[in-house]
Amino acid sequence: MSSYRFTTALVTVGLAAGVTGTVALARPAEAGQRTAVTAGALPTAGSKAWGWTAAIQHSTSSRDDQGRLVLISPAGASNPVGEVSDDAMLDDVSYDGRRIITSRWIGTSVEKPLRRVAIWDAATRKATFVTLAIENTDRISIVSNGFLVRDKATQRVQLRSFTGALLTTYAAVSGTHDGPIATPGGGHFMESRGEGVVIRDSATGAVTRTVSAPTGWEGCAPLGGWDASSFVMTCFKPVDDNRADDRPFRVGFTSSVPTTPVTTSAGSWYGAWPTSAPLIGMPARMGDGRAAKVVNGSPVTVRTTAAVTGAVGDKAYLMGSRASTGLSAIDVVNLTTGATSRLTTGLYSDAQTIDQVG
């Protein structure tokens, strides 16, 4: 296990119902000091920082004890935010790039681990640490006044401030098995419900729309935003040889926008982006999966062994696997011309590019 390098006091908060919050004053031990790096300009607070990328960078390998959270500009300038452990995950980044959440599993119990969450302020380059004492937590999603996290044990979504304080616990929605996924800007969030998806108001938790699975499909789960009026969900249906036919669908926040498939061809797609030719891809971790654009309803491979971190306009941001280090480089591919450029020199274990998918 890598050493802890954080110096801020740890706050332990019970997320499951009936758990009392406590404060742990122990300060994890530090590793060696690193050369100071001067931070560059950040996106304007409250802006839509499309094309900026939050990433976890390493020096030599994914286990080098040199993890660093950075915020990369569309021009490739890398702004250091803070040091992270080798096993840290990048959960979400705010629309303006000023807040970034990372987390890691801690504790000795496999069945009931704790999730240590770091809420980073990119401007001050400091983090607030919160430990969620819970059987298992699901996605963490940033909204305008904090972040959302769901307790799998109770199926209830909580809104927490950027200090980790509990602000609201929303009523559970029956059948939930994925989410919450916040819309761009954070005004609403989506959760799975049975075979469909519910859209909820981030301020009140009220359900504003329930979307049923398209005819013949099931197991729908939200992926993220599409534009100001719609989002994307993926649904599946079993096929004869025990495989699943997965497909992304564009769905309106209101019934005025019809539900339409992003692609008519099968595939295990876990992301979809509204580029000029829609882009679809596999999970953006460690460079696994592939990226493809939709031409005449069918996916055409853009890059194999690459994962999409985001897409803006006609540019796709991709992580390409480097098996020797267990890390990835981040490239920018022009989906119109096919030209590829390196976003910035470095090795990364996780990345998320800010775009209108949210």
User: How confident is the prediction for the chain on average, in pLDDT?
Assistant: 82
pLDDT at 62: 78
Of 100, 20, 1, 77, give the one whose Cα is nearest residue 350: 100
> Torsion angle of alpha carbons 263, 238, 289, 136, nearest 10°?
120
3-state secondary structure of 110: coil
Cβ-based neighbour number of residue 257 at 10 Å: 15
Asked if residue 280 lies in contact with residue 289, where contact means CB atoms within 8 angstroms, the answer is: no
Of 139, 76, 83, 86, give the one whose Cα is nearest residue 350: 86
Instruction: Extract the tokens encoding 46.
Output: 């409250």
pLDDT tens figures, 74-126: 999 999 999 999 989 999 999 999 999 999 988 766 666 788 999 999 999 99
Which residue is listed with tokens 């286990």? 63
pLDDT higher than 80, residue 276: yes
Burial of 199 (0-12, 13-18, 19+ CB in 10 A): buried
pTM for the whole structure: 0.86
Lowest mean pLDDT among 8-22, 24-38, 245-259: 24-38
Mean pLDDT of 181-186: 81
pLDDT at 98: 96
pLDDT higher than 60, residue 23: no
Kindly report whether the peptide bond that precedes residue 180 is cis, defined as omega within 30 degrees of 0.
yes
DSSP 8-state code for residue 45 = T
Cβ-based neighbour number of residue 215 at 10 Å: 5
The side-by-side arrangement of strands in the sheet containing 181-182 is 181-182, 188-193, 196-201, 207-211
Mean pLDDT of 44-68: 91
3-state secondary structure of 42: coil
Q: Which helix (H) or strand (E) holds 306?
A: strand 306-312
How many residues are recorded in the chain? 358
Going by DSSP bridges, is the β-strand pair 126-133/10-14 parallel, antiparallel, or unpaired?
Answer: parallel
3-state secondary structure of 178: coil
Binned at pLDDT 50, 70 and 90, residue 8 comes out as very low
List, as one string, the DSSP characters of 47-102.
Answer: S--TT-EEEEEESSSTTSS--EEEEE-TT--EEEEEE--TT-EEEEE-TTSSEEEE
